[in-house]
Copies of this chain bind each other. A is one copy, B any other.
Amino acid sequence: MNTKELYSEYKDITQRAADLNYASAVLQWDQEVYMPPKGFPFRGRQLATLAAQAHEWLTSDKYGDLLLRLSDAEGLTEDEAHNVRLSREDYEKNRKLTTDFIEKITNQTSASYDAWIRARKENNYSVYAGELGKMIALKKQQADLYGYEGHPYNALLDDYEKDISVAVLDPVFEGVRANLPGLLDKIKATTQVDDSVMEGNYPRQPQWDFSVDVLRKMGYDMEAGRQDISEHPFTTSFAPTDVRVTTRVDERNFASLLWSTIHEGGHALYEQGLPEAQYGLPLGAAASLSIHESQSRLWENCVGRSLPFWRCFYPMLQQYFPSQLRDISLDAFYKAMNKVAPSLIRTEADELTYHFHVMIRYEIEKSVLDGSVKAPELGEVWNEQYRKYLGVSAPDDKQGVLQDVHWSHGSFGYFPTYSLGSFYAAQFFEQAEKELPGLVSDMEAGSMHELLQWLRGKVHVHGRKYRSEELCQRITGRGLDVSSFLRYAERKYAGIYDF
């Protein structure tokens, strides 16, 4: 085969594997959104078959051989060579896990998840600790199979974020630890914000209609996606031309739908902006989890919790909820949505204290992987950290160490990407403000077009071409730098809390 034929064969296998993975995404979307309860068991085996076949193609000797031959081949375009390089990296990583290990960890995931569910029911961490301990042992084994330099956690971080290690993250969270408590103290020292407006009686249909208005205004293409309801909001893509978001409606808490919609909308804009011509190939995929999160957080926080955005949207919202909002000023509404208060539950935290939640998980993950903390001690360690950094004490395990599902799934190394996403978001937005002089007035006019085009050109169109840090360098002239977030937070909360 000549280079062209080799590439075509490589592309065919890679895209067919993507077809199966996108099909899985449709099945999972349906499972979360519409599937009747008795559908679970057979749906589970259908998903397993799809995943196994995609994995088989992508780890086959034939595929490896193709990648090897293409790596030395001449005549590939730059993009083609880039796809091959990234696929080879994926291939080599995928081959490191033995079938035996994959089976073990799949089974342990079921066992840990079951134990987590039971423990939550009984509100008792000790019911879960044993299975979590076994999962941690397997994750250490996984780190060994991957191989790593320095901390074993580095090997697992690589599953979520390439080239990110504790050497990168330690200074990031050191920045959090060094700066956020001071800011939090300043906030605590002022008059507190009243956010009771968010809770009240907000009927379902106008909430939904408003959320669709917001999605449209953000530039989300309703011809290439749709919004549905699910218990936990998420974004999923079946191709750049079909990217779905979900939200949830709580008639007693308007914020629930609003932030879900804007957050997921940000993820969805990224997926809709990925290059169609690279469907199923690395350059057609998102750069990384943290860059994905940067897109959702930029829209959710930098745009969706900003005063200029609400100058346009608040009058619209008041029309949807005249009796509820007639007497609430824009300023009061803006302050309410940005209220800062230390709390127990990560997913309900404000955008400032959120990073303490992530930092605590980061430190715990490091310590269980290097063995300095054991599974049975986690409840204790958790509560101690929450008291230390947030000054709150969980009254029970459900509001403490049992709140997140991630560890039961074996997702160690995922949490840090949430904070990275926020920090990248602040840094990108700071740059956008410099490059787009009309940004604020656009937002005030409800026009997000320029911003979206900027993100499209700077981030979306590149797919996986650049690593997170490389992309950040290209966009802002420097790597991740928490100071952008700190400046953003300082400025925002100084305005709101008047210090």
Which residues of A come within 8 Å of B, CB atoms?
Answer: 15-16, 19-20, 22-24, 26-27, 30, 34-39, 41-43, 45-46, 48-50, 53, 221-226, 228, 238-239, 241-242, 279
Query: Smallest CB-CB separation from A226: which chain B residue?
Result: B36
The CA of A45 and the CA of B242, in the complex, are separated in Å by 13
A242 touches B19 (CB 8 A): no
User: A23-B46, A34-B228 given. 18 additional CB < 8 A pairs?
Assistant: A15-B45, A16-B53, A19-B46, A19-B50, A22-B46, A36-B222, A36-B224, A36-B225, A36-B226, A36-B242, A38-B241, A38-B242, A39-B238, A42-B239, A43-B238, A43-B242, A46-B239, A53-B53
* Chain A interface main SS type: helix
Contact residues in B for A26 (Cβ distance below 8 Å) = 23, 26-27, 30, 46
| Copies of the chain in the assembly | 2
B238 touches A41 (CB 8 A): no
A25 to chain B, nearest CB (A): 10
A229 to chain B, nearest CB (A): 12
**16 A–B contact pairs at CB < 8 A?**
A19-B48, A20-B50, A20-B53, A22-B42, A22-B46, A23-B26, A23-B27, A23-B46, A26-B26, A36-B225, A38-B241, A38-B242, A39-B224, A39-B238, A39-B239, A42-B239
Contact residues in B for A39 (Cβ distance below 8 Å) = 224, 238-239, 241-242
Contact residues in B for A224 (Cβ distance below 8 Å) = 36, 38-39
The CA of A36 and the CA of B319, in the complex, are separated in Å by 29
B238 touches A38 (CB 8 A): no
A16 touches B49 (CB 8 A): yes
Query: Smallest CB-CB separation from A24: which chain B residue?
Result: B23
Contact residues in B for A53 (Cβ distance below 8 Å) = 16, 20, 53
| Contact residue among B23, B43, B222 (Cβ-Cβ distance under 8 Å from A239) | B43
The CA of A464 and the CA of B15, in the complex, are separated in Å by 36
A241 to chain B, nearest CB (A): 4
Select the residue from A35, A36, A50, A225 with max chain B CB neighbours within 10 A. Answer: A36
Contact residues in B for A279 (Cβ distance below 8 Å) = 42
The CA of A39 and the CA of B244, in the complex, are separated in Å by 11
A221 touches B38 (CB 8 A): yes
The CA of A224 and the CA of B30, in the complex, are separated in Å by 14
| Contact residue among B23, B223, B226, B239 (Cβ-Cβ distance under 8 Å from A50) | B23
Contact residues in B for A222 (Cβ distance below 8 Å) = 36
Contact residues in B for A241 (Cβ distance below 8 Å) = 36, 38-39, 41-42
Contact residues in B for A43 (Cβ distance below 8 Å) = 238-239, 242
A219 to chain B, nearest CB (A): 15
Contact residues in B for A16 (Cβ distance below 8 Å) = 49, 53
